[in-house]
Amino acid sequence: MSAFRRVCVYCGSSNKVDELYREAARAVGRLLAERGIGLVFGGGRVGLMGVVADAVLAAGGEVHGVIPHKLQALELGHEGCTELFVVDSMHARKMMMAQLSDAFIALPGGWGTFEELCEVTTWTQLNYHKKPVGILNVAGYYDHFLAFIRHAADVGFVRPQHRNLLQASDDPADLLEKLATMEIPDLERWIEKP
């Protein structure tokens, strides 16, 4: 039995990306379905979002999409989802995705993926939830981002106990294992009181 019922996957919506990123999304989708873990995602049929959802569905898994009305009106929603929730805003989308999920994985993506990844990691840091967050670092896509986090820690903006708050791997199974076994620091143990 898996440690997670559902995992949220953040990823790009662009179709103009190299096939190696698509194959990584397929691998994540297949792995989730094989482990009996449901997918929670942004509800889109395009880009890596559509690829990972299609892979989960093809392997017999469950897919829970969350999409804002504005994007659904553009006919961007994935109609094959087990459940497709249409919500009022991006804020509502992110909140519902977090509520439905037990852990989070970022595949390669752009502005939206970066924003979602940073926000959900902050929520974990502040114990708004105690859900692990990871990056699938496909072909070194996130190397510079991970180096920047190390730099932020080196100069004191990321606390020592949060250096490893964001797990990373280039292998989906390894990343799931890291997420299942990581310990999240308690807020009361690191917060500075006046």
Q: What is the tens place of the pLDDT at every residue in 72-122? A: 776 677 888 999 999 999 999 999 999 999 999 999 999 999 999 999 999
Backbone phi and psi for residue 163, each to the nearest 5 degrees, phi listed first: -55, -35
Complete domains list, the chain, with CATH: 6-181 (3.40.50.450)
Task: Write down the pLDDT at residue 190.
Answer: 63
Q: What is the rounded CA–CA span in Å between residue 165 and residue 117?
A: 12
Q: Which residues of the chain have pLDDT under 50?
A: 1
Task: Write down the pLDDT at residue 70.
Answer: 84
Task: Write down the pLDDT at residue 1.
Answer: 44
